[in-house]
Structure formats: C-alpha cells, structure tokens
Amino acid sequence: MKHLDALYLFVKVVQQGGFSHAAAQLGMPTATLSRRISALEQALGCKLLSRTTRKLQLTEEGRRYYERLNPLLREMEQVTGDIQGQSQIMSGLIKVAAPIAISNTFLMDGITEFCLQYPQIRIELLQSNDYTSLLDTDLDVVFFSGELPDSSLRSRQLGEVQYGLFAAPGYLAQKGELHSPEELDQHHIIQCWPHRNWQLTDGQGRRFHLKPVARLSVNQMQAAVKAAIRGLGIVNVPRHYVAHYTEAGLLQPVLPGWLGGKRPFHMVYHNRELAPVRLNAFIEFIDQHMRNRLASTWVTVGEGKLEQGKQE
C-alpha cells in the first residue's frame, strides 16, 4: 500500500498517453512525474514503461500492473467523487487577495454576485498591491496585475487591463487640448505606480516613449486620480478605474486614440485537483463574470481559458 500514490500516477500516465499530458491533468511538473515513476520502477524491481523519443509503451510487467490497477483506481475515483459530492456542500471560507484599484471596481462586482448566489460561502478579501509576497501565503486565490513571477502555482489569464491618459476639463481648458504625444512635455504630469515610464501606442501601431518629470508622484491610484480631478495635471491610469469619473464629466480622455499601456490580469491559485468544490466554483464564476460583463473598451478580455503553471 505504500506505493499507492505512485501507482496512481503510473495509471494516469498510461491513460493520458504520456508524461506531459498526465502532468498537465495532475497539475504537477513533468520532470517530477517522471522521477516518481522511475522511483516506483526501482521499488518494484521492474520496468513499467519503455520510453523512446517517439512514444511511450508499456512493458509486459507494466501491462499486467495497468490491467489490474486501472479498474480498481477508477472505482476509487468514483467512490471519492460520490462522497465528496454529498459532503462538500457550497459553504466555507475562501481567502482572496487582489490589487486595490481592481478590487474596488469590476472585481468587487463579481465577488458580490458570487456571495449573493452562494450565501453559505464567506469571502475574506485582502486588498494589497504587494503581489509577490501574497503568492507565498496560504491564500486560495490571488488576482495579479502584470507579468507573473516564477511560481509553482496555477494561473489563468483573464484579460488585459488597458491604461489611458486623463485630465480634468478645467485643466485642459486652461492648458489647451493635446493633438500629439509630443505635446505632453508641455504639460503637468501626475505619475502613479507602476507607470513611471509611459509607453504609448495607437491603433496604427505607432509608439511613443515618455519618461516624464512629474509634478506629483504617488504610489496609490486613488490619490493620483483625485489630484487629476482637482486640475493638477494629466494622469495615466486604467480606463475602467476612471470610467465613472468620465461619465460624470470630472475627467476626460487625453489623446483618446492612444493607449497608455496595458497589463495582463491573472487569477492565480493552487492545484485544483485537491481544491474544495467552493473554490472551483469561485474560479469558474469569476472567469465567466469577466467574459460576460467586461468585454468593453476598459478591459480586454481573453477569448479562451489559458491555464499554466511552472514547469521544471
């Protein structure tokens, strides 16, 4: 019985037709899975699989093990699924972390709708822009804006957050409308993390790089937007974050044909093979919420589900 886990992995490799497909389904690195099978073969004293560059074949001993184990493990999976389906009701706690700006806008809408649909589930939301340290905690889901660091956690890219330039109508009336990015040097700039350097692009693929000398530099988007509303200058922030300010006439787009930048938006989580039902439900709910509600000029939503994890 001490080799039960390794035998289960062996059966999965055979069922999936190879190490890479089995590793993807199991949520583990291919190299790790290969080492586990090699250790099992050494413990059993026989080769189970014949590895070549073209294909993977069962040895005679491997075929005999597989034929006996496959129905037993299928039955175990069925029994486990039946029991979990009865006992893992949609209740309990989900620990979530997200960037401050994103969680205060469209993400909060999705979390609220999820809580209303599943009243027995509790959400604990930590709002923080310290992404990298959050990935090393016991949180269930971390929403991450930007390129992912090297991580063993699973992730799904939900879309891209688009940035744009905005200023108060009063500021533009006083300083004048802009017609090209080159004119930004003549204006007051409000700098906000993470956009210290501005990389602007337009619909024709033209690019403009600006390293502005800021009138005001802040590390919280709320402060930058408030300063822009008061007429201090031009700010480069996510379009979704200032949508209600532009609708209210407090801000207006500057150089609307130019994009102020974009950052991928990820949902990061642990291996879902062992995740409780409530967590899998939350992941799928938020993913669908993004695709149904946020396909707009403010957020570009990915067309398909892209899940990835660190590979050794």
Joined tokens for residue 149? 């660091």
Q: Which among 281, 280, 270 has a CA at the least distance from the CA of 114?
A: 281
- 140 contacts 111 by C-beta, under 8 angstroms: no
Residue 22 confidence class, pLDDT cut points 50, 70, 90? confident
Give the tens place of pLDDT for each residue, 198-225: 989 998 889 999 888 899 999 888 899 9
* Range 134-161 average pLDDT: 76
Answer yes or no: is pLDDT of 156 > 80: yes
How far is residue 242's CA from residue 298's CA, in Å, rounded to a whole number? Answer: 9
Considering the chain, what percentage of its residues have pLDDT values greater than 90?
Answer: 29
Give the tens place of pLDDT for each residue, 57-97: 888 998 888 888 888 877 776 666 655 554 456 788 999 98
- Residue 155 vs residue 42, higher pLDDT: 42
Residues contacting 171, CB < 8 A, separation 6+: 188, 228, 231, 232, 233, 234
How far is residue 146's CA from residue 203's CA, in Å, rounded to a whole number? Answer: 22
